[in-house]
Amino acid sequence: MPRPFQIACLLLFSSILSHSQAEPVPVVTFTLDFPDSQPEHYSIRVQSNGRAHYQSGGRLSADSDETDSFDLDFAVAADTRQRIFDLAAKAGYFQKDVASRQKGLAFTGKKTLSYKDARRTGESTYNYSEDHAVRDLTGLLQRLSSTLEFGHRLQYDHHYQKLALDEELKRMEEMASSDQLIEVAAIQPILDQIIADPSVINLTRARAQRLLEHAGVH
């Protein structure tokens, strides 16, 4: 039978393991609501372990009442993840109001950044912020949304209108060359499908291949 010391060690280990499993994973969440834009709403949730979720929705076009939604679970690369959490720390984990008080600013969408871990919680909503860390983080997450939305449109085009793929991929190449896209690996599955599809013209398949190569995705 186990000795008292062994039993005590087992109980201590069990307690530590239980506490570790229950402790929430640090997470940064960004949401943007911008009526009449496409998408009208999106949210990005990034955990410190690299797991992430993206959700967006809005009308298919300005003159349409039809709505479209998109959900994607994906993994964020270590360097991007580190950048996100470093900027959140520099911004004080959004525990104070980060909104600019300047008058007459153009409306670019209602934005909310939030942070949560085992010890702290913070959230702030803004149109524009003068905090450099908040601005940098906003720009990074908006570029991430742009990349994921390209993937969303590519899925639609590949299924319903393959001739539209080339123009979409051309735009992606232009934006990638000026570092306006990040985490292209998150949409690798649809790019791989386009590359492998013999019914897609070779020029278009080559664009998809170049995008992956430019992003260092193999």
Q: Write the pLDDT tens digit of every residue in 70-85.
A: 999 999 999 999 999 9
- The H-or-E segment that residue 121 falls in is strand 121-126
State the pTM of this model: 0.86
Structure tokens at 35: 């009526």
Bridge partners, 115 (sequence order)? 28, 122
How many angstroms from the chain centroid is the CA of residue 16? 32
The string of pLDDT tens digits covering residues 122-159 is 999 999 999 999 999 999 999 999 999 999 999 999 99
Contact 124, 112 (CB under 8 A): yes
